Amino acid sequence: MHPVLKTVLQRLGLGLLTLFVVSVVIFASLEMLPGGFAEAILGQGATPETVAAFNHQVGLDRPATVRYVEWIWNILHGDFGYSYAGMGGSIKRSVSELIAPRLYNTFFLAIMTAIVAVPLSLFLGILAALYRNSWYDRIVNTVTLTTIATPEFFIAYLLMFFFAIRHRWFYSLSTVSDSTPFLEHIYRAALPALTLTLVIVAHMMRMTRASLINLLASPYMEMAQLKGVPRREAIIKHALPNAWAPIATVIAFNLAYLVVGVVVVEVVYVYPGIGQLMVDSVSSRDMPVVQACALIFAATYILLNLSADIVSIVTNPRLLHPK
């Protein structure tokens, strides 16, 4: 078997094992939460008979190990179960039905942000490495460090104040629905996307700059400069291709953050994404929805990190032989 293919398969196996461990942690953590799910759903006025009937209806009276195995088995068949919120009525809503539109909104926001943030961060990082220690480099470093040190919810509120409340250029609440037109969806998601862009551009730009500066000190770059190759050409043709591995890693980390870390931004702007759904479900103790959202977040994060690892190996096979 080719060493690259063997390493990729090993990474995929490790990713599946990690996802299994994460699923155990998610299930066990929710099991250890204080209080009963039935009391949170039915209210404090529910009688013990009603609570017992609810627990029996949703299967909470069975051992935790049995419920975990059944949960994993159903997920492998594409069934996330039913929301607790509909158990007391005549209409039960599946978790997949609740998550699907919210997941689309979250991915819409993440893709919208990535289209702007990734090229911008690469461009700023390359310029910062090209003009190291210049006034441009100092200004960009100061701005990015300030952005990294500022909590994202504070950035969101500042943008909301200036662009939505004071100047009324955008909506302060990014409420969208299935019937929202595509361009209107982009307009309403502009402020959340701008908030996320400011946060991840700082990280990606600094990593791009650091990777290129490290490569500029390598012997082959010194040889290129001694041969008279222009600095800009040496960076673009020689340094940048060798920097793709760390750059791909940081891009994958930040793309994972766009999907996993949007909870705060979605809550601030009341954007109907999966992060907002997870927060609402935690408040109402709707555990099947919380478990599904957490597992989707974990799977997305693991998948993107595996992708970055595989891209790094394919673009730089020397990583197969670290010695």
- Tell me the per-residue pLDDT of 237-247, one tens digit each, with 9 for 90 and over: 777 667 676 77
Digit-coded pLDDT (tens) for 170-194: 888 888 887 888 888 888 888 888 8
How far apart are the C-alpha atoms of 34 and 110, rounded to whole Å?
34
Strand partners, 82: 94
Q: Residue 90: pLDDT band by 50, 70, 90 thresholds?
A: low
pLDDT at residue 89 above 60? no
CATH code, 160:
1.10.3720
Residue 47 belongs to a domain: no
Q: Which residues lie below 8 Å from residue 27, measured CB to CB, with a gap of 6+? A: 64, 68, 71, 291
Residue 46 belongs to a domain: no
Residue 320 belongs to a domain: no
Q: How many domains does the chain fold into?
A: 1
Digit-coded pLDDT (tens) for 64-83: 888 888 888 888 888 887 88
Digit-coded pLDDT (tens) for 95-130: 888 888 888 888 888 888 888 888 888 888 888 877
Q: Transcribe 81-100 into DSSP letters.
A: -B-GGGTTSS---BHHHHHH
Q: Residue 318: pLDDT band by 50, 70, 90 thresholds?
A: low
Residue 63 belongs to a domain: no
3-state helix, strand, coil in the chain (%, to 5): 75, 0, 20
For residue 111, the enclosing domain spans: 106-276
| Residue 317 vs residue 145, higher pLDDT | 145
Digit-coded pLDDT (tens) for 146-168: 887 888 888 888 888 888 888 88
Residue 206 belongs to a domain: yes
Alpha helices for 134-286 (secondary structure H): 135-149, 152-159, 182-188, 190-216, 219-226, 231-234, 240-242, 244-260, 263-269, 274-284
Residue 138 belongs to a domain: yes
Cβ atoms of residues 192 and 269 within 8 Å:
yes
Residue 98 belongs to a domain: no
CA 145 to centroid of chain Cα atoms: 21
Residue 288 belongs to a domain: no
pTM for the complete prediction? 0.79
Token pair listed for 263: 């909870």
Q: Which of 39, 41, 34 is nearest to 289 (CA)?
A: 41
